[in-house]
Amino acid sequence: MLKVHVENQISKTDNGKRKTSGHYGTAWFEHDKSHPDYEYAVLIPTTSDDSQLADDISTAQETEGSEIYKVLKRDSTAHVVQFLPSKQLAGSDLKSPLTGYVMFAAAKSLPPDGPVEAVNEDNCLVMAEETEDAIYLSICSPDLNLNAKSGPLHGSRDVGVELLYKSSSQEREIHVTLKKPVETTTNDVKVHGKPDAYDAVIKVDDDGKIVGFLNIKNGFSVGLN
């Protein structure tokens, strides 16, 4: 059963000086242990004809050779989903497969259908699109990875007031191993949101297969091609 909860949330601004509010929504599937496996796709409404688009997506997904996505892996190590170009989906500009990796643990071997062979860290998200002459790679670590006063972080009292409102996380180093070698120079690096005082540091090994993201922090999405 699909459950949806929408509520107004009241919180503080980044500097902690005034209150702010906004609506948020949470959706989840409620099921018992007898039905542990399921999958779903989310369509974000943007136009008045989204009902037809939903029908087109459903038809394409159920037609062999025209699927919108494939689930390549779903276990305690990673969830890997590959989005596919579909002739039945009008208006789609996806030309090459786009593979998303949700890493719950480090993995030395990932599905062969995607361009990523291994990821050496847990709790990170990787997106990869491989074309005939390039690989577009993006990564983020959504955990704020805050410095706790002592032991695991359970609540706001486990960190100091300055850290709580500044919310600057410890940096993480994550290495992504590709199946095919790439150029060892990284000229086109982008950080989502263009945050001030943050420059992503990326290094590719001499073989061109291991891409090291050396200072991932604050949930920033760092991408390169």
Taking residues 11-25, what's their average pLDDT? 84
- Paired tokens of 172: 């993480």
Taking residues 209-224, what's their average pLDDT? 90
Q: What is the CA angle 13-214-176, rounded to 5?
A: 110
pLDDT band at 32 (very low <50, low <70, confident <90, very high): confident
pLDDT band at 2 (very low <50, low <70, confident <90, very high): confident
Over 80: is that where the pLDDT of 213 sits? Answer: yes
Domains of the chain: 67-224 (2.60.220.10)
Angstrom distance (rounded) from CA 33 to CA 207: 45
The length of the chain is 225
- List Cα–Cα distances, 49 to 44, 54, 63, 204, in angstroms: 12, 9, 22, 45
Chain segment 146-182, per-residue pLDDT in tens: 766 666 667 667 766 555 566 677 889 999 999 999 8
First-to-last alpha carbon distance for the chain, in angstroms, is 41
Q: What is the pLDDT of residue 88?
A: 65
Chain segment 80-126, per-residue pLDDT in tens: 999 988 776 666 677 899 999 999 999 999 999 999 999 999 999 99
What Rg do the C-alpha atoms of the chain give, in angstroms? 20
Q: Are 115 and 99 in contact (CB under 8 A)?
A: yes
Q: What is the pLDDT of residue 108?
A: 96
Angstrom distance (rounded) from CA 5 to CA 24: 8
Q: What is the pLDDT of residue 214?
A: 94
Share of the chain above pLDDT 90, in %: 40
Say how many C-beta atoms besides its own lie within 10 A of residue 21's C-beta.
Answer: 8
- List Cα–Cα distances, 202 to 47, 131, 138, 172, 196, in angstroms: 39, 21, 11, 12, 18
Q: pTM of the prediction?
A: 0.80
Over 70: is that where the pLDDT of 193 sits? Answer: no
- Strand residue runs (E) in 38-97: 69-74, 78-83
Chain segment 57-84, per-residue pLDDT in tens: 888 888 888 888 999 999 999 999 999 8
Q: Which residue has the tokens 């699909």?
A: 2
